[in-house]
Amino acid sequence: MPSTALAAIAALPIADLKSIFTTDPDRLSKLVLSQGPIRFDWSKTHLTDELMVHYLDLAQDQGFATRRDALFAGEAVNNTEGRAAEHTAERGEGNADSVAQAKALHNRMRALIDAIEAGALGEIRHILHIGIGGSALGPKLIVDALDGDGVRYDVGIVSNVDGTALERAIEGFDPHTTLIAIASKTFTTSETLLNAASAINWMVEGGVEDPYGRVIALTAAPDKAIEWGVDETRILPFAESVGGRYSLWSSIGFPAALALGWDAFESLLEGAAEMDRHFRLSAPNENIPLIAAFVDQYYSRVMHCQTRALFAYDERLALLPSYLQQLEMESNGKAVQLDGSPVDGPTAAITWGGVGTDAQHAVFQLLHQGTILSPVEFIASIEPGHALDPAHHRALLVNCFAQGAALMRGKDNDADPARAYPGNRPSTTILLEDVTPHALGALIAFYEHRTFANAVLMGINPFDQFGVELGKEIAKSIEADGAKGFDPSTMALIELALGE
């Protein structure tokens, strides 16, 4: 138990952000770190020199370096499932055998993409990607963020079992020129398989003679995909050791690689690999994901913040908050430590957010004056994503930076308390040079490693997700045997809505 470091952290007075640049004028040089095209600024958070010292001790007590090395070595860091977590191998960083295997599988994906581009599957204009959770959120984020002039296909990414989602996605798609990519690590996820079956029906009804001829499977369970009807030659496997929410770098990234081009996909991987090397090789006191985790730990465990808000001041990154919700909440929303004992404090905060400046006119009221304290993360890009009047981008960035300053500074108004702002509210600013594949790869890898670093500091396993199973089991049992035996509320709902 790393109680000494935690006790020392808890005993320190909480700094006041309103005067923090006066009490600590060198903050900017200490708390702004850059890695490749991304600049991270924690100077408007409550992190102080003293806290940093104790968090570095905590990291050491929790075996940070050892657990990080185990992650990259391909050891079974996912202890409850007895397997490795090898997303970094997809980017070329990690256990040599796993890196070689990932490379071979990427080559297979590239060969299939080349064949598709050469017309092997006939004319393709639309890509219908079907998957859920980690099998959809990553590709969706990447395609949406980088969907610039280079995109050569319409991409529809469908996850929800609600048929409206599929219906909307295929609206405007021609079944004769659509490629279906079924993305499922396990190839057992009921929503995905039902959507895939309906997509095949849509093709059949549209007069496609051999609908399975244009179906690709992206999976770690090739046998199941074959059993389902996908031809072996169109299966793009990935390793079992790549977790679902860490899988966009594997064949799950297929729609991005096809739509954006292989060079863009490689550049995404290389950006992530640079962040991997930074995380693996940097000393703890200059390790960006680890320092971000110190800040997270301070707000959730010392200042009892139950949420962390994240606003992308860039439309290209509009899907980043929902991507990070899965990454952070599915990874660290846990109640037990590695040895199975209960955790000694809160784990993952609730990640939420949206885009600026929209959010300023919707939820920022609470952030400035509400009684709940939530640290805020701003993400912006120096370069705009459009060619309109530069006034747009200037206004966007000015607003972003103004919000951080306002949260920190606040404003007194003794005469009219309703118009007073308490200030002393923390924010982090992450500034990208531009939203390129390389920068986006590095940014996502930063979040992955930050999530892992948080898990290490709390002594938990971020790589399992048993919490999602019970609901699935109950849904299955209701499908099979009806609601009999359930509570009266559930039975009444089923009777009313399903007539059973």
Q: Does 138 bind ligand F6P (CB under 6 A)?
A: no
Q: Give CA angle at 181 (442, 270), nearest 5°.
A: 20
Report the nearest approach of ligand F6P to the CB of residue 44 (Å). Answer: 33
> Of the two residues 135 and 381, which places its CB atom closer to ligand F6P in the complex?
135
Burial of 256 (0-12, 13-18, 19+ CB in 10 A): buried
Q: Does 37 bind ligand F6P (CB under 6 A)?
A: no
Q: Does 133 bind ligand F6P (CB under 6 A)?
A: yes
Residue 386 annotated among the catalytic residues of the structure: no
**Residue of 90, 328, 330, 377 with catalytic role:** 330
For 119, phi then psi, to 5°, come to: 95, 15
Q: Does 461 bind ligand F6P (CB under 6 A)?
A: no
Interacting residue with ligand F6P among 34, 186, 285, 341 (CB under 6 A) = 186
Q: For 392, what's the count of Cα atoms within 13 Å in the CB-facing half-sphere? A: 11
Residue 330 annotated among the catalytic residues of the structure: yes
Interacting residue with ligand F6P among 116, 132, 407, 439 (CB under 6 A) = 132
> Of the two residues 133 and 289, which places its CB atom closer to ligand F6P in the complex?
133
* Angstrom distance (rounded) from CA 349 to CA 21: 27
Report the nearest approach of ligand F6P to the CB of residue 342 (Å). Answer: 23
| CA distances from residue 472 to 62, 240, 331 in whole angstroms, order as listed | 34, 21, 18
Q: Does 331 bind ligand F6P (CB under 6 A)?
A: no
Number of residues that bind ligand F6P (CB under 6 A): 14
Q: Does 134 bind ligand F6P (CB under 6 A)?
A: yes
Order of strands, sheet of 38-41, starting from the edge strand that comes earlier in the sequence: 32-35, 38-41, 427-432, 376-381, 307-313, 350-355
**What 3-state DSSP class applies to 355?**
strand
**Residue of 304, 386, 472, 476 with catalytic role:** 472
Interacting residue with ligand F6P among 37, 94, 138, 244 (CB under 6 A) = 244
Q: Does 312 bind ligand F6P (CB under 6 A)?
A: no
| CA distances from residue 314 to 38, 360, 495 in whole angstroms, order as listed | 15, 13, 46
Residue 472 annotated among the catalytic residues of the structure: yes
Interacting residue with ligand F6P among 44, 129, 185, 450 (CB under 6 A) = 185
The 190-229 contact track toward ligand F6P, x by CB under 6 A, reads: --x-------------------------------------
Handedness of CA 312, 316, 319, 324 (dihedral sign): negative
Q: Does 334 bind ligand F6P (CB under 6 A)?
A: no
Q: Select the span of 57-65, 130-138, 204-212, 272-280 touching ligand F6P (CB under 6 A).
A: 130-138
> Of the two residues 151 and 197, which places its CB atom closer to ligand F6P in the complex?
197
Q: Which residue has the tokens 């885009």?
A: 355
| CA distances from residue 370 to 364, 366, 418, 420 in whole angstroms, order as listed | 9, 4, 11, 11
Specify the amino acid at residue 37: P
Q: Which residue has the tokens 């985790």?
A: 293
Query: In the chain, how many H helices and how many E strands?
Result: 21, 11
Q: Does 428 bind ligand F6P (CB under 6 A)?
A: no
Q: Which residues are catalytic?
A: 330, 361, 472
Residues that bind ligand F6P (CB under 6 A): 132-135, 184-186, 189, 192, 244-245, 330, 465, 468
